[in-house]
Structure 1
Amino acid sequence: MEILILAFFALGYLVLAGADIGVGMALPYLGRSAGERREAIAAIAPFFLGNEVWLVATAGVLAGLFPQLEGELLHGNHTVVVTLLLAWVIRDMGLWLRGRVPGARWQAFWDGAIVAGSWGLALSWGLLLARVLLGIEGPVAVLPALVLAALFLTHGLAFAALRLRGTLRERAAVLSGGAGEVRTYALTSAAMVVVGVLAGLRLPLEPGTSGPVLVPIVLAVTPLLVASQAWVWWTFRHRVTGPSYL
């Protein structure tokens, strides 16, 4: 049961947050002007905070139910984990601050932070997953990390094609040929799941001793998380019609 819980939250994060990371990576391509970039950001605005909850939940499950694995991952990948956290902070700062002060330079600076933070997140996850999947360390690990970062980018474009309209939709739908957007998103989601499952199979998933106490608590809270996520997706199921609050 502990392994299933960890897989549920980790795979949920890759699929859900992988999409908003990918949109941030593709922001210069999707938005050629400040207005277009703001509309592209509106595609992920209702979702990115909820998506991050899945990472927090994954970290909590890892620390509570798999303390030995948590220690091994942090000890062997300290630099990558710190870089990932810094990229996360930079990306979110960009999202929150870009629209707080008027001015093209201010917005362009924080748009750059969104792009840099999103690429930092994707490459950090790519390095971490490459080390787990292939056991590769050092400069050579950049190559599989770039491949996995490309998967994040593709996933983000597929999600943007479902959310945007007009010219932005056409740019995002370049992978699906302007049609089959749901199919493309399903395929990229499946690819994210496959990567996560393969990485999980390489990990020493030995639960700790706190399972009998923590598992019932996690199982009780999980339906609330799923229900809130489903409510957000249903509420914002329609395509973006203009800028958001970001």
Structure 2
Amino acid sequence: MELFILAFFALGYLVLAGADIGVGMLLPYLGRTSEERRETIAAIAPFFLGNEVWLVATAGVLVGLFPHLETELLVGHYSLVVILLLSWVVRDMGLWLRGRVAGAGWRRLWDGAIVAGSWGLALSWGMLLGDVLLGMGGPLALLPALVLAALFATHGLAFAALRLRGTLRERAAVLSGGAGEVRTLALTATAMAVVGVLAGLRLPLEPGTSGALLVPVILVMMPLLVASQAWVWWTFRHRVSGPSYL
């Protein structure tokens, strides 16, 4: 049961948050002007905070149920984890601050933060998963990291194609053939999940001794998380028609 819980949260994060990371990576391609970039950001605005909950939950499950794995991943990859967290903070700062002050220079600064933070997240996850899957460290670790970053970007394109309209949708649908957004998103989501599963099979997944206390609590909370996520997706199921609050 502990393995199911860890896989549920970790794969949920990769599939859900992978989409908004990918959109952030390709923000300069999708949005050629400040107004287009703001509308592109509106595609992920209702989702990115909820998606981050899955990462927080994954970290909590690691600490509570898999203390040995938590030590291997977080302490054994300390530098990568620091870069990942900094990229997360920079990306979110860009999302929250770009629209708070009028001025083209201000918006360009925080648009750059969104792009840099998103690429930092994708490459950090790519290097971490590449090390777990292939045992590649040092400069060679950039090769699988770039491949996985390309997967993040493709996943983001598929998600953006489902959310945007007009010219923005046409740019995002470059891999979807114009009408296959759902199919493309399903394929990229499956690819993200497969990478996560393969990485999990390479890890020492030995639960700790606190499962008897924590597992029932987590199992009670899981349906609430799924229900809230489903409610958000249903509420914002329509395509973006203009800028959001960001």
TM-score class normalised by the smaller sequence: over 0.9
1:80-119 to structure 2, matched below 5 A, reads 80-119=80-119
The residue correspondences of 1:30-49 to structure 2 (distance < 5 A) are: 30-49=30-49
For 1:50 and 1:111, locate their aligned partners in 2 and report how far apart those are by CA, in whole Å: 21
1:156 is matched with 156
Provide the C-alpha distance between the structure 2 equivalents of 1:54 and 1:144, rounded to a whole number of angstroms: 24
Query: What residue in structure 1 maps to residue 195 of structure 2?
Result: 195
Give, as a single letter, the amino acid of the residue that structure 2 aligns with 1:145.
Answer: A
Rounded Cα–Cα distance in structure 1 between residues aligned with 2:64 and 2:160: 35
| 3-state secondary structure, aligned to 1:145 | helix
TM-score (norm 2): 1.00
- Kindly report which structure 2 residues correspond to 1:114-193, keeping only aligned pairs within 5 A, or say none: 114-193=114-193
Shift of 1:75: 2.1
For 1:164-189, what per-residue CA distance to the aligned partner results, in whole angstroms no more than 9, with x for missing partners? Answer: 00000000000011111100000000
Matched, 1:225 2:225: yes
Aligned to 2:212: 212
Structure 1 residue identity aligned to 2:65: L
Runs (4+) off by over 6 Å: none
Distance (Å, rounded) in 1 between the aligned partners of 2:74 and 2:228: 30
- In structure 2, what is the Cα distance between the partners aligned to 1:198 and 1:233? 28
Sequence identity percentage = 83
Task: Please report how far the alpha carbon of residue 130 of structure 1 lies from its aligned counterpart in structure 2 after TM superposition.
Answer: 0.2
**Per-residue displacement from partner, 1:179-237 (whole Å, max 9, x unpaired)?**
11100000000000000000000000000000000000000111111100000000000
Aligned-residue offset at 1:76:
1.5
| Match in the other structure for 1:68 | 68
Separation of aligned partners in 1, 2:18 and 2:48: 10
Supply the distance in 2 between the matched residues of 1:92 and 1:235 (Cα, whole angstroms): 22
Q: Distance in 2 between matches of 1:49 and 1:200?
A: 25
Q: Secondary structure at the match of 1:117?
A: helix
Alignment length (residue pairs) = 246
Residues 72-105 of structure 1 show CA distances to partners (whole Å, capped at 9, x for unaligned) of: 1122211000000000000000000000000000
Corresponding letter in the other structure for 1:167? T
Q: TM-score, normalised by structure 1?
A: 1.00
Post-superposition Cα deviations, 1:18-76, rounded to whole Å, max 9, x if no partner, equal 00000000100000000000000000000000000000000000100000000011222
Structure 2: 5+ residue runs without aligned partners? none
Structure 1 residues without counterparts, runs of 5 or longer:
none
Distance in 2 (CA, whole Å) between partners of 1:219 and 1:75 is: 28
